[in-house]
Structures are given as C-alpha cells and as structure tokens.
Chain A
Amino acid sequence: GNSVTQMEGPVTLSEEAFLTINCTYTATGYPSLFWYVQYPGEGLQLLLKATKADDKGSNKGFEATYRKETTSFHLEKGSVQVSDSAVYFCALSDGGSNYKLTFGKGTLLTVNP
C-alpha cells in the first residue's frame, strides 16, 4: 500500500535559517504529492503540490520538487520566519478515482526570533 515517511520532529530554528523537511514515499503508479500546513489551533491548509515527476511546487517562499528517482518530495525554505511555526504534513494521492490522501506523521517546526 501507499505510505509517506517524514522527518521526525520537532525542528527548532532561528529566524532567517534555512529549512529542509524530508519526505519520502512509497506508492504504485503516479501519485500526486502535497504539503499541508497546520497552524496552532487551526485546520489544514494546502501549502503546495506537484502532480508529476520533476514538477516543482512553490508557495510563500516554500518549495518542493517531485523526484521520482528518489521517491522524495522534500520541503525547503531559504529563510524562515516566526510566523512559519506550525506542523507540516507531507501527503500523497494515488491519482486513482478515489482521491484518498495518505499522510506522513507531521513535523512540528518552531522558529525562534
């Protein structure tokens, strides 16, 4: 079956530091890949997505590239802000007609001033 493995947290960074959160996946076929973010006390928001190999998703300074050869979708940001503190979830959809999402366990990011 499908699975998503995310870098274990928590991750604590200083403001303006570089961020990488690793995500690898196992899936049959050609999944779509997503990063969702959950700010404290809120629901999930879509951060970015990529639907095929070598696609790069980007939003709010975050980027992730769909790497089929390494089955990875690592999240990066060049300079984090305190407001980026949240839980980040990597997820995949197997692209079939059921659209079910498989989530990683989530990575808590704390950015200190």
Chain B
Amino acid sequence: SAVISQKPSRDICQRGTSLTIQCQVDSQVTMMFWYRQQPGQSLTLIATANQGSEATYESGFVIDKFPISRPNLTFSTLTVSNMSPEDSSIYLCSVVGGGLAGYTDTQYFGPGTRLTVL
C-alpha cells in the first residue's frame, strides 16, 4: 500500500483565518480525495482532487470555502478558508490506484489533520 503523509498533523487556528493542509504520497496514484470527520461523526467526502484541473466537489461543499490543488500525481492540498468553529474537524486525504502494486479500488487514508478553530 501507499505511504501517505499529511501536514500539519494538528493545528489550532483563529476564526476568520485560513489553513492549508498538504497530502503527500510516496508513489503516483490514480485518484486523491479529501474527507472531513466532524467530532464523533463518520467521514464525509468533500471532493475529488483532479490532477491538473479543478476538483469535483460533493453536495454542500464549494470551492470558495475548500479550494483544492493537485499539481501532480503524488501531491494535493486542501485549504479551509475563512474558518469558523464549525470547521473544527479531522481532515483526511485518501488515495486510490497506481503504484507498483498495480490496479486496485482500495482507498488508503492519510493520518489526518486535526483542526481546532477558536
């Protein structure tokens, strides 16, 4: 499986500011995703990060609030903009496919970024 890292692992931010989270994979992957896990809740897909083009957002999530970049097949960023306390969550990236292991439909997750907004 791919080795996935996220930066930062956690942060405490002030209301109205923005935070950019990085996701790095050790091999080229077909797809990358960003999820949100609110306290005590399950995971909700925010968007699919598309290499070289705009991300595909799920219902309820918009680019102005969660801009996403994916400049290549191993790296993506998620920005949480104009934060409020309701944005306090764990943000996780995940990847599918590619790599020396060959084609697979299994998603592997990064360790997550724990965000607290005051």
Contacts and interface: CB of A to CB of B under 8 A. Distances in A.
Nearest to B43: A103
Contacts of A99: 31, 33, 96-97, 105, 107
Nearest to A106: B42
Name which of A93, A101, A104, A106 has the most chain B CB atoms within 10 A of its CB.
A101
Contacts of B90: 43
Given A34-B106, A93-B107, A98-B48, A43 B92 contact: yes
A101 B37 CA distance: 14
B30 to A, nearest CB: 8
A10 B105 CA distance: 30
Nearest to A45: B109
Interface in B46-99: 48, 90, 92, 94, 96-97
A93 B105 contact: yes
Given A104-B42, A106-B42, A43 B112 contact: yes
A42 interface: yes
B82 to A, nearest CB: 26
Contacts of A106: 41-42
Interface string A75-100: 00000000000000100010100111
Contacts of A45: 109
A43 B109 contact: yes
Interface in A98-113: 98-101, 103-106
Given A32-B105, A43-B92, A93-B105, A101 B41 contact: no
A89 B111 CA distance: 16
Contacts of B105: 32, 51, 93, 95, 99
B106 A103 contact: no
Contact of B41 (A32, A42, A93, A105): A105
12 contacts: A32-B106, A42-B111, A43-B110, A43-B112, A44-B43, A49-B106, A89-B43, A93-B107, A98-B48, A99-B96, A100-B48, A106-B41
8 closest Cβ pairs, A-B complex: A43-B111, A43-B112, A44-B109, A99-B96, A103-B42, A105-B42, A103-B43, A43-B109
